Structure formats: structure tokens, C-alpha cells
Structure 1
């Protein structure tokens, strides 16, 4: 595996501060998180851009060094990387083997007893942090990991947390955070201090407790107590109106839990629990009085899936191979809480101060079975394999193979001819490789040298095995190119591949009135007023007056350098709030992606573009 390239510009096997990188866990606007090891210890290694984050990276270190609790992610080490001219700050933390809370809830459909135990552990983790003067300030589902082995939750990502004497992160009225989890008192302060010079809200432990109440409400009911407040009327609703009681939304919520959750969401901080420790005591008392009804799943309509019908008898030849392959590729069905779309199992976005957490909002409620993302992949795999086998068959015919009827047994099922399956299914690491790196995997193992040898006519017909070898090589190459999109001509640095928007980006943009296809401008505030030399990697830029929903916001994303410059921005920060976006560099009036270099600037010269570039809101990075 050593030497293979991962997204994030770090190769497997690279040593960072004595830790050996083993794989990519997640990435976002200003860095990436990797699975790494040092000796027998496994860690989550967060790499953050020094230029983009400034002093924010050290902030999380200062916080984690103060804390030592089983429900808070643990600190291991930190430093600068590389040794000469370092560009990255690394932070090695405990590797939590588990799932984000939103995914865990989607897949497990917990009972009230499990939900209470989870909230109790989180209350204890917050109590330990508050005892050290630390506020998390961004408690939400995606910043909570649930251990697979024990089912216990762990608070992660203290990147925007606070402690006595910590410097301010922004000059905005509110510190960075997520709108849906803002307390009523924070929103009221911003409303009353809008336009007041130097006004700054100082969060308290009550803000963390309110955010935990929002999380607990979602676990119990499958929905947030309030939508993310965007308009003045929505803000006022959160400030003054109580949410619908959890038990009214979901009758399976026991009365004691309804009371605890509702108290956490009280409008006045003094009406909530006086501390996280007091919340833990209330949850302990509720668990002690729990009866058997607390063991029923919270989602009443979570049903066992129907049994799959027995597969039909196998067919002969290629038709049988494809039929059996489709059955083999179909994932086993399992129950899931209806209305909870399963999010991807990832660490999530990595933005300013947020390189190790997810940012997805709680998953949307969809109809059961609405997500079938494996079907396009299975279809593509079958098509690629069909192309490979067809090409192999054609080459075999051309080289003098036996008549078609005699060839039929060679179209065997995977049980008798596994080569086709191996060729069509790339290794597990292939998804992390760029196309140019993946292409050599299609070579026959026997071809030790990449140098092309001159064609020499054989003195006698080659053995029949060579015909099969050529056919197999053709099948491997065709299937690998279909599955991995390897280039067919001279190696040219490709445009970045298609990828979906960050989780929750479309909803966040819609809430801010951003329309798909809306155009705007972005400013690279460095260097010459007209032109700027850019480089591959992470960048933060400033939005101009348009699009209006992002006016004067800061975008975090990545630049990719080729014949054109491609920019994909996945996080925005505006008015002290961070949210996911799906925005890319765009040249007005040009149907191509990205922006062109200035006239006369071509590879391999350092890329130069205009200081002010176009911007486009997209539904997907194509």
C-alpha cells in the first residue's frame, strides 16, 4: 500500500510526527483527517492548513489537554508538518471506532433506555468539560461518535470551544456555531445588539445544555424542535415559543424523558438544569425508575424486512453470470427507522477549527427504501464487466479460437472463472486513488517492465495459453478502465472527478435563499490587484456582493490545478455561523468547469488567474 496517493495530498505510509498514515477518514475546507498508527497505538490524525486556520488549530489542543474523560475524545500529540517550511498543523487524537450519532440512531433505532443512557454519558462528558472551564459551543449529532464496541458516546471536535482567557475567534456578535443549536438567549442577544459596535455574546454552560436538548429531542422524535432559524420571524419563534413536547410528537417517549428534554429546551437559562451534573442526576433517577416499556424501540413503525425470495436456478453462459452477479451484489436488506436516511459513514467536513467532525444536520425523513445508492454502482459494474468479457471474446475469436459453440463453456460463472470478477471489482483502496494512479493496476502481473518490447514474429504458433492470457489482459484492462476511469491517452493531469455536495449543503443553501445556478464573485485578497499565482490545495476566499445569501462570507475549499483552475468550496462562514455549501469557481459565459488561466500562462508554468473570479452555486460537483 505504501506510495499510493490519497485525497489530501498524503500518501499511505507517510510519517507525520512519528505517526504512519494508513488511510483517509474525512476531509473538508481546511484539512483532512487520517487513520494513523504509532507502534501499536491507533489515532485519528487531523491535518489542518496553517495559513487557513491561523491560531485556531492550537485552540483545540489547549482544550483537549485540559480534559480526561471517557466521553470526551482524548489528546495524543500535536506539532507542525513538514520539517522544512511546514504548511500543516497535525493533531493526533483518540481514534473512536464507531459511528456518528445520527448514523447510529438511523441504524439502531434505540429504545428509551438506550437513548437515556446515551444522554447520561454525554451529560457526564459535558460536566467534566465544564468543571475545567471548557465550553464545547458546537454540540450536535455529527460531533458525537458512538463506540461500536460499547455503544457509549464520545464528544469530538472542540475546535470552536472556549475556555477562560481564550482569544475570540471572530469579531461577530455570536461566536462560531450551528444555527439550529443556538440557544434562545444567544439569538435574543444578537437581535438586540445588531449593529452595536463591539457587541459580543458570551456563551455559558446553559448554551451547551440547550444544544444537548436539541440533540436529545431529535433522538427521541426523529425531528428537530425548531427548523434552523433564518428569517426574523423564525428567530422570534425560537426565542419566545416552546417546541411541541417530545411525547406529543412520539407517544413512545416515556413521561420522565419528555420532562427532562422539555426542561433542557426552556427559554430561560435559569429554568434549565443548573449544571450538566444536575442533568446527569435527573437521567440516573429516570433510568432507576424505568420499566419494561423503556425497552421498546422509539420508532414504532420500524419493521423487520420481508424475507428475500429464493434465487431462481442458475442459467447458462453470460446471461447466467450476470444474473448471479446481480444477486451477489445486492446488499442484504435490514430494518431501519423509517424516515431516517442513512448518512455516509464518514468523519465529515473539515473546516476552520472543525477538521475532525461531521457537519451534517440530522438526516432527512424519507420513505422506507427510498435510498438505493447501490443500484447505479451495481449496474455500472455489470456494464463494465460485460464490456470486458465482450472484448476478451472478440480477441479470442480473432486469434483463432474454436467456434462459438465450443467457446460457450468458457463464459463460466464466477465459481469456475474468478478472473472476471477480480478484474471488474477494484481493490478496496481504489476509491481513494486518482485515475492516473489507479490505471497501472490494470497491468498483467507478469509484465514486470513498463518498457514496450519490439514485436518479434514467433517461429511457431504460440501455445493456446497465450491466447487466453491476451484475452484476460484485455478483459482486465477494459474492466479496470470502465470501473476506475483510467485515461486512454498520454498522461495529462485530469479535472477533478464528480462528487456530491457535502451533507446538508443543499438544505443550508436553500434556507439562505441561494438558488442552484446562481452566479457571484469571489476575491483572492493577495498579491497583485489584478492577477494572482495560486497553487493546488486548501484555500479560504472572500465572497463579493453576490450571491446575496453569501455576500461577504468566507468560503473554505480546495483548488485543483490543470489546464484550468478548479475550485470547490464546501463550507461558508458568515455572521459567526458556519454551514456547508456547494459552490465552485466559474467563468461567466463559459460552459466549461473552473476558470481559465490568464493569457499565455500554460502548464508547467505556475498557474496565474484573475484576483476576482466567478462563482456558481451548484447541486453537485460535476
Structure 2
């Protein structure tokens, strides 16, 4: 069960921060609204709970969250403002506070149109693309971990308690990383089944898992008029049956958007969008559609008020009448050929899921989930009050940037007290015993060293690029507009900001802008990719063999091109150079190379 908030009355102090009120509790922390010198912050105090899967790594997990946040500076991602030690001896983070709604609350109270929902998710996908480019995975994306600010409607990704980054230490002793079962991709449960007898097997969380979680959030907002209610719901990650298309449940969902959600929730991760930047582009394209069906509320406002009709498909039917309504929805004309054949199976699975959910069991017996297995009654929240169903409430500030964090980030913790190693004997009642003094000191020293390095601008390593299809429209553009053929090879300077003809450092996951330099003599290239052609993409580092490079490799993957005087086109173009060195999230390799036109990412 979820722990209740500690009884810290208003006016109490947490390292000089005066507590105004509790905001909520997550799997790994309690959160309070604090005030100091006229500034209000969300004060997130680390906690340990046996049921959380934290395994006595309370401080290490909080330091990892701080490390991840220091690597990020984006307007749609939470921002740290300080850190220190609470009087209890536990670490705390001070984060910007925002008066906002969770995504579920926003959908119920603002009655957004399809276009408005697409606008929010486009920004979320852009923030995730930036985050993934820094080598960071959130791992607990869900409706309650995204706030929509009341003042300007901007979405903010919050709660990095489960986040990880390249080379981060694994803190959870379980097959799956911490997270929320409903938002897990189906391949996670498949991994558990296949490795149930391998005690040390650990699932490698990927960008595809993050994309699936986005799909679950989008599907829920499109099909459920009251997503804040606690009740059994149809599992969207069932290994046996894909979820019904949103348009089958809610006729207001445009067909193109329904198709996209189906792709995002595909059982095969290779069929999902290539990455979160590709997802952002698809969402942007739909948002730009001129059709009037994008400008109507996704749900009739009357259905979003308590006491209105209950949504059929996302909710497990529990009475004959609701079961009939569910089957009736499944018999709508859209995709009837595929779905009518499976109506009986769907009904059986839905009923089995209802019994399974109500029994309180979790799929796969996953370790590390920090959400309660038993539904809790929703808190009574006044419309004017900040949400209390989220672990914390924060607002980011500052412009979006893909450059490594520099001195500005290093100065961020100025509001919190200096981070000190707590005395070994300090312990809260109910907390698990500490590790031996030597191991605790080693963990905290190593973590603080990493935080210090990040604060002065050391970038994180990028996640390994995966085998996915090219950007939408790339094959047609290369064939019809660019007249490129698969296997064409073009020479270019990999990044026009770097020195030519030299071994230079690239930030793993960083943006690069290649250019065709002067001096090219190949007639074929000059005809279809002349001097001045600019290639846009990202650099990656691989420690093993990939393509023609035998050994560590610098991989530059370009997905857009602009020829002099022409429009920009999507492409699939890859450069593979030998990696001379790799250090602190940067890879060193030649600034010149010959790339190849491909029909999918290698």
C-alpha cells in the first residue's frame, strides 16, 4: 500500500524552507509546498518504503534524479532549484512549483479539442526527443506525471524518480525497472515470462517503451471522458490482444489520429515511430490538418461531468447492459473485418481482465512498481487548488537547448543548502537499516562526483540507436525529388561547426549539421548532392560492430537534407566512421566521411 504523508504541520521547516502544505507522495518521496525568502518551491524529500523496490538505495536514487535533472534544460521539463539535507537526514530536492492540472484533470475540466490535445502531445514528444538525445529515459510516463500549467496551458513532464541515464547504476533488484504496470510496453512482460528462471536478468528499457507509454496516455484521453476516476480499465498492453482503435470507441477521433495511436501501441516495437522526434513530426502534421473534425471537443462536456454516461471500451464491463454496449461498439463499421472476427475473444478477455484486476494481482509479478496495487478513492480537490494526485508540482523555465549544461546549470542549486553526507547513525523510524558505512560513503561520493561533473558541463552518452524504419516520406522523397538511389555514397563534412580533415569530438546524441564541402569531384554526387548541400541529423556511439566498421564506431544518422535553393526533404543517410575515443559522453572521430543512402536505419 502507498504510505501516507508524514504529519508535518504548516509552518514547520525543512532545511530553512517553511512548509505551507503537503502536495502529494510518490513511490520514492514526499512532496511539500515550501517558502523561503518569498520564493515558493516544491520540496521533494526522499523516503524509503519496502514496497517500492528501492532496496535501501534511497539517497542514491535521489542523487540519480538530481543528476538527470541537471543534464536537462527544456521549457516542458521540470527544473531543479536546489538540494540539501532535511532535518530527518534525508536528501531533498527543491523544484519549481507550478499551479496546474494533471493531464487527466485538464482533459476533464478544459474539454479540449482534438487539435488542442495534439498540441500538448506534440510538445511532450519534443521534450522527450530532447531528453532522449541527452541519454535520459523517464521510465514512468503517465497522465499524473504531466502537468498542464493553468496560466498558459504549457505541459510539463515531472517526477524523475524512476529516470535513468547512460552508464547509470542499476538500483532496482528486479527483472523490470520501476514504473507503472498499465503504461509498460508488452515486451516488458514478455521478457519476464522468458527470463522468470534467470534471477539476474534485467530488462533493458528502450525509447520504444517510452513511446508506448505516450500512446497509452493519448489513447486514454481520446477514449475516456473521465480519466481521473479510479476504476478497472481495459489493459492496453495485453500480450494477447491489441487495444481497440480509439475511433472504434469514440467516433469523434479522426481516422488518421486513430491510426497513429494504433501504430504507437503496436505489439512489435519496430512498428512504432522510429523515435520521439519522428513521433513529434507525425503529431505536428495531424495538428496542422484543416479538417473541422479536429476543432470539436474530444468528448461532449456533459459526459465529462460526474454522473454522465460511463465510457464503454476503456472500462471493464461489469453488468450485462455494459457488456452489450461494449459489443455494440465493437460492431461499428470501422475495421469491421478485423474486429468482428474477434468479438467473442475480446469479451472473454475483458471479463477475465475484470476479475484479474479486481483480485489485485499485477501482470508478470513485476518488481519495482511503485504504484499501489489496490485502487484508492480519488481525493476531493477544489477546482482552485493545485493537484494533489501527483508526486510533485513544478514549472520549468528557460529556453530549450540541446547544448550541454554549462555554468548556468551549475548555479541552479544556489537556493538549497550544500549537500552533505548524513551522519551514519542518522535514521528515521521505519526506515530500512543503512548499508555499512564504507559502502554508503562510496555510493554517495561517486554520485556527488558525477553531479559535480555534470554541473560544469559534461554531457551524457546517447542511447544506442535502434533498428527502425526511415522517416515518413523519406523513400519517396529520395526517389522522386532527390533522384537518389539506395547505395549512393556521398562525401561530406559531418558537422560544419567542426574543423575539416581532423579527428574531432562529437556529443553522443547531439545535433549535427553536415555539409558537402568544396573540392568534390564525383560527377554523380555533384548532380544530386552538390556543394553546399546540408544534412541534418544526430551522432551516436557504438562500442560493437555495426555495418562496415569493425569495432567502436561513430555513427551519424541524417534524416533531413536541404539542397541549395530547394526545399527540405526527409532522408535516410548514414555515415559510419571509426571511433578513435569515447569519454564523458563524447565520441571522437574523423570530421570527414562518406555516407550511404539506405532504405532503413542499420
Q: What TM-score, normalized to structure 2?
A: 0.49
Higher-Rg structure is 1
Q: What TM-score, normalized to structure 1?
A: 0.47
Higher relative contact order (Cα pairs below 8 Å, separated by 6+ residues) = 2
